[in-house]
Structure 1
Amino acid sequence: MTDLPPADFRERITSSFQRQAAMRLIGAQLTRTEHGTVEIELPFDEKLTQQHGFLHAGVISAALDTACTYAAYTIIDPAASLLTIEFKVNLMSPGRGEWFLFRGEVTKPGSNIIVADGRAYSVGDGPAKLIASMTGTMMVMRGREDVAG
């Protein structure tokens, strides 16, 4: 990416993430915020599993969507906001581990539409394991008082 990031993007993203009740509910934490990249970590919690004891696909999808959208937030004008308009998740391995890392990275910046890719990793004994990938499309919204970052 060649565009310079808005100067206050870390503060804006941290503030916005703190207002995300869904991420608070599942125990997710914002751990890295860079130009075009955001990481979220989530400790394993049995309450977030499906019937086989694996991290639920809905939780994986929600965390990946959040990481990708905040990655896109790092490159937009501070007065703009974003809404996800589409995403596709590939679940590649069962979600089991001590904790999980969700990384979102901007793939294609744009003035109206931004595409980001996400990767979810399980971490435990041994190296991190890729468990899911996502491609998401976000719409940049401007001039909407009812929707703010």
Structure 2
Amino acid sequence: MDITDTGDFQARVRQSFERQGAMGLLCAELVRVEPATVEIELPFDPKLTQQHGFLHAGVISAALETACTYAAYTTIAPDVSVLTIEFKVNLMSPGRGERFLFRGEITKPGSTIIVADGRGYAIGDGPAKLIASMTSTMMIIRGRQDVVG
């Protein structure tokens, strides 16, 4: 995988994640930041469920999209940014668990478009259970002062 000189991508990703109001609202935590891979965890909270008590699909989608986007951040130069332009989510099992892990991994880095795949897991008693997958596409943003880091 060809990856650009990304500078101190870990610090940039962590600083950007701290500015995310949505992830703060979900009590999400950035737990792993490596080249082309990011993991986010969030605890179960009844306020984040749908009518049957499962983690809401919108919450799952938001966490997966965020993990994929920050995985893309690890592959780009410090003077550019990324925005998601498309994603597809497959919900594979009800979101039931004590905690949830969302992993984003770069499938294809690029200088204009980046493709990432994400996986969401429910963690509780027993082995982690795959609950969702995502494929997302991000575009590189250059020269826009309103879209930085």
Q: Same fold (TM over 0.5)?
A: yes
Interval containing the TM-score (normalised by the shorter chain): over 0.9
Deviation at 1:148, TM superposition (A): 0.6
SS in structure 1 of the partner of residue 102 of structure 2: strand
Q: Distance in 1 between matches of 2:24 and 2:145?
A: 25
Contact 1:114-1:137 at 8 Å conserved across structures = yes
Alignment-derived partner of residue 63 in structure 2: 63
Alignment-derived partner of residue 83 in structure 2: 83
Alignment-derived partner of residue 143 in structure 2: 143
SS in structure 1 of the partner of residue 93 of structure 2: coil
Pair 1:134-2:121 in alignment: no
SS in structure 1 of the partner of residue 110 of structure 2: coil
Partner deviation per Cα, 1:53-74 (whole Å, 9 max, x = no partner): 0000000000000000000000
Gaps of 5+ in 1: none
Q: Distance in 1 between matches of 2:45 and 2:86?
A: 28
Q: Distance in 2 between matches of 1:128 and 1:108?
A: 26
The ranges of structure 1 where at least 4 consecutive aligned residues each deviate by more than 6 angstroms after the TM superposition are: none
Scaled by the length of structure 1, the TM-score of the pair is: 0.98
Pair 1:125-2:125 in alignment: yes
Deviation at 1:7, TM superposition (A): 2.5
CA RMSD of aligned residues (A): 0.8
Q: Letter of the aligned partner of 1:77 in structure 2? A: A
SS in structure 2 of the partner of residue 10 of structure 1: helix
Percentage of matched positions with identical amino acids: 74
Contact 1:5-1:35 at 8 Å conserved across structures = no
Scaled by the length of structure 2, the TM-score of the pair is: 0.98
